[in-house]
Amino acid sequence: MQPLPYCETLLEGLATDGGLAVPVEFPSVDGETLERWRALTYPQLATEVLGLFATDIPREDLARMTAAAYEPFPEEVVPLRAIDGGLTLVGLSEGPTLAFKDMAMQFLGQVVEYALERTGSVLNVLGATSGDTGSAAEHALRGKERIAVFMLSPQGRMSTFQRAQMFSLDDANVHNIAVDGVFDDCQNLVKELAGDLDFKRAQHLGAVNSINLARITAQVVYYFWAWLRATDAGGWTELSFTVPSGNFGNILSGFYAKQMGLPIRRLVLAANENNVLDEFFRTGVYRPRSAAQTLATSSPSMDISKASNLERFVFELLDRDPERVVGAWRDLDAQGYVDLSAELARFEEEFGFVSGTSTHDDRLATIRAVHDATGDIIDPHTADGVKVAREHVESGVPMLVLETAKPEKFADTIREAIGVELEYSPELQAMLGAPQHVTELPDDAAALRAFIEEHALR
């Protein structure tokens, strides 16, 4: 298969063979370059980092798009703040939907429109969300003439705020679809339809969730930003990052940053009760759970038992050998698990991965402890990260935890943890009370095909 330019990969979503696209090679960033980047604003840094991947986009066009992407954010796009225990939170939830997904999705809203205008074509975005990806995508793409959004979500599995943030939109190009199932069922439907190349071509299907490589590259930027803000000029300080993880896209971006040369010591994966990934990084055995075994938890955006982005890590783990990856996934399909324990020592020694699990009681206790110590209120997913981060702190190695969302999105859990009723702005109150627009469908590919055929842009 011939490599595709960035813009073409962006519009394809999945690779043309139905797999996930990966960089042909990782660009290399040295210490001199890092020092040169210290003085840049976040949009300027995004232009530099993304420019290493998006070589088919003129630099002035890329700079214009990154400036537009981060214009809706406060002046300090990604603030860092210290909390108790020597941890530092990386604030990724300053965007319009109050979740880290905005960091990449606002850029994708710009670059997808740019790529479509260059080709004169349209795109019907098919995505799956466990809570935050959907609203971030819809808010980034709403009202765009060449784009329609078909966003699948698991019926009854998101928070009240998450549902309102998506379903209150009444833009003609946004189609919310509640599937009778869990997130993994939604994701399987997306991959089934995207893997049908005739249907994909006929309906101009694409994807903007984390199976899209452009999303991963846009998220790489904030790892560089955080490192530059947490270190002193002229030093080569190794940091560790803890990342609350569901579909493995957020932490994969950190892995890509490490592969590019950013001095990252450890990538600490924090799972909730659906801890398939924690089991994998502890044992080397990847055993996804069925829909019936996937628990509904108080960190719902991580209620995922089959992480699609893990395939990209396995590609690197198996020395970029496509045949070995195909063989591993064939084993997964045949027996329900894949055993990569022969490579287990490399997980931490070569790639820096360690992991841990947080439960409902853990996240309540962590939210309470952080609030008591600092007055800060953190959301349940970030609390999972803080809990696991504390288990992996090393002397002399700063530990940064990626904040994934604002607590307002999960008011019930905050109330349970610290007894605080969160205040909402008039705009958010109006959103919560607005009529909701959603279509309910069974977990059935034929029903989804028919809906897309009826509503897709041509």
Catalytic residues: 101
Q: Which of 189, 103, 181 has its CA nearest to residue 150? A: 189
The answer to whether 189 and 449 have CB atoms below 8 angstroms apart is no
Helix (H, G, I), strand (E, B) or coil at 162: helix
Q: What is the DSSP letter of 296?
A: P
Q: In what order do the strands lie in the sheet with 205-206?
A: 205-206, 123-128, 147-154, 174-179, 439-441
Tokens of 443: 């977990």
Residue type, 186: C
Q: Strands, E, within 232-379: which ranges? A: 239-244, 264-271, 285-286, 338-339, 353-357
Query: Taking CA 44 as the corner, what is the angle to CA 40 and CA 49, rounded to the nearest 5 degrees?
Result: 105
Residue type, 120: G
CA distance 197 to 93: 36
Q: Within the chain, what is the greatest distance between any pair of CA atoms? A: 59
CA distance 317 to 314: 5
